[in-house]
Amino acid sequence: MPGRLSGAAARPAVLVHRPPGAPAAVLREVRAGAEEEGVPTDVVDVPGRPADAVGLAHAAARASQLEVGIGVDDDGAVAVHHGKLPAHGPAATTGRDAGPGDWRRAGRVAARIVKGLPLS
């Protein structure tokens, strides 16, 4: 069962699912990107779940009151998902070789989906 790491209980937020070994720098930039757009994030630790970023993001989106989730896997890949999209069709992804600007952009994309704004 996933456990919450931060954030207020049950508040509307973009959920960020990650395994315990996910890189902290990636998580920090993703959250900063969403919060720069004024959308809060809550991090959920998902231990023992060998999912890729897309699978983590889909689960996060389905659990989020805002229907938007982000997954960060052990290798630092990031995916942004909406709860109504097909499981293997995320809104955005970054690869394992992405950098801080890409990670922050993923957070902004998640926030802009919540706000109904263009993604560019």
- Domains in the chain, start-ordered, CATH in brackets? 14-114 (3.40.50.10150)
116: left (phi > 0), else alpha (psi -120 to 50), else beta?
left
- pLDDT reported for residue 8: 47
Instruction: Confirm whether pTM is higher than 0.75.
Output: yes
Structure tokens at 87: 């499981």
Enumerate the β-bridge partners of residue 81: 69
Residues in the chain: 120
- pLDDT, tens digit (0-9, with 9 covering 90-100), for 46-96: 988 668 999 999 999 999 999 999 999 999 999 999 999 999 999 999 998
- pLDDT reported for residue 34: 97
Provide the 10 A C-beta neighbour count for residue 62. 15
SS3 (DSSP) at 114: helix
Q: Return the percentage of the chain with pLDDT > 90, whole number.
A: 82
- pLDDT reported for residue 73: 95
Residue with the larger pLDDT of the pair 66 and 1 = 66
E runs forming strands in the chain: 3-4, 14-18, 41-45, 68-72, 78-82, 92-94
E runs forming strands in 73-112: 78-82, 92-94
